[in-house]
Amino acid sequence: MSQDTTRIVLYSHDALGLGHLRRNLALAHQLAHDLPRLTGAGVTGLLVAGLAPPADFLLPPGFDWLILPGFTKSPVGYRPRHLRDTPQSLAALRSALVATALTDFAPALVIVDRHLYGVRGELRAPLHRLREARPATHIVLGLREVLDDPETAASEWEALDSPDALRRIIDEVWVYGDRRVHDPLASGEIPDFLHDLAVFTGYLADGRALLDRERCRDETPFVLTTVGGGSDGARLLKTAAALTPPPGYRHVLVTGPQLGEADAAAVRDAAAPGTEIHRCPPGLSRYIERACAVVTMGGYNTVCEVLASSAPALIVPREEPRREQLIRARALQGAGAVDVMREADLDVGALTRWVARAVTRRVLRARLRRDGLRTAAARAAALLRPDPTISRRARQERAS
């Protein structure tokens, strides 16, 4: 490997849905695009994930996947997705695989999405070992702008590790949002001892064309329903499938690749005549960009794709087991960026009426900070510059 090539690892645990994986993939594309210009060095990297990506999740040049044996969520906690093994044994296997990758690949930058220590603490030992072996490596914790209600978030931080131990590991906390819309520091979702490490990047919205190069070429007007990966979107899909679009408009419904077969059949059975149902069309962000109105859930990545467009959007947030989507939807509604419908109010007539009104307008969202991908790449470049004053860890007690 040439000395003028920067090595990067982006980790996501990926127990449910595609959000963590897609967020890191968007960042990888931006880093591959911007860092050579910003640092003068080439870029290569590993995307570590616990879920095999769909075929249209295309890698940027110089990157590859490291797919770990998967966990999935169950009513009693995390369990192996496929392996006939115990959760403890699977976590140990995943931890060993990640540790080997970090040791042998020797990254200059590690970006961990949302869960610093992964599933069942699998990343704790590898990160501490990396910190000891390569103190110059920069470790960033990337957080979506909403974690959960403050009490739940606080209990998760307390269970993770001591404040001193976390500060020894984390160089920066990138918050992927606009502080004026929702401030997780003020709400208590991010603890006080990490506030000085927090950098608000803006939403990871603008620039997703690097991720979805396939264009939506259909010129006829349509309304769009999409629920991200689809693993938790069955109720909205079944209800929306029966809506009647305004005259002259089509209804395009995207179920997502993770919707179960039984639920997919129920969606098809509920669909009104003429509704177009797609599993996972290439370039979904381009469909959102072209849509005359969008009905969706409140997951971070889909919301970012909405924010990058001027399409009116109705968010029907998931409210259990986490409040994250509801908090996000309400905050964006307060900023005038989206409309919100609670699950209790969801029915076909209400969706039909909203769509009829929505297709007559557009929504200007330029006042929101949507440049998070570019900002994150700029922050990465600042950390990677060979200047010891840039690194917080070099300024403080790393040597001790």
Average pLDDT, rounded, for the chain = 92
Same topology between domain 5-205+371-395 and domain 214-358 = yes
Model confidence at 390: pLDDT above 60: no
Angle of helix 261-270 relative to helix 234-241, nearest 10 degrees, comes to 20
Model confidence at 138: pLDDT above 60: yes
Number of Cβ within 10 Å of residue 297's Cβ equals 24
pLDDT of residue 3: 59
* pTM over 0.75, yes/no: yes
Domain 214-358 has CATH 3.20.20.100: no
Class of domain 5-205+371-395: alpha beta
Q: Read off the tokens for 297.
A: 């859930």
Model confidence at 111: pLDDT above 90: yes
Domain limits, the chain: 5-205+371-395, 214-358
Model confidence at 387: pLDDT above 60: no
Model confidence at 108: pLDDT above 90: yes
Q: What is the pLDDT of residues 72-107, one digit of tens each?
A: 988 888 999 999 999 999 999 999 999 999 999 999
Burial class (CB in 10 A: 0-12, 13-18, 19+), 237: buried
Q: Quick one: average pLDDT of 36-60? A: 93
Name the percent of the chain lying above pLDDT 90: 81
Q: Quick one: average pLDDT of 181-187? A: 98
Number of Cβ within 10 Å of residue 100's Cβ equals 12
pLDDT of residue 398: 41
Give the whole-angstrom CA distance, residue 149 versus residue 192.
Answer: 16
Full DSSP string of 230-287: -TT-HHHHHHHHT--PPTT-EEEEE--TTS-HHHHHHHHHHPPTT-EEES--S-HHHH
pLDDT of residue 394: 47
Q: What is the pLDDT of residues 214-227, one digit of tens each?
A: 655 667 999 999 99
Model confidence at 54: pLDDT above 90: no
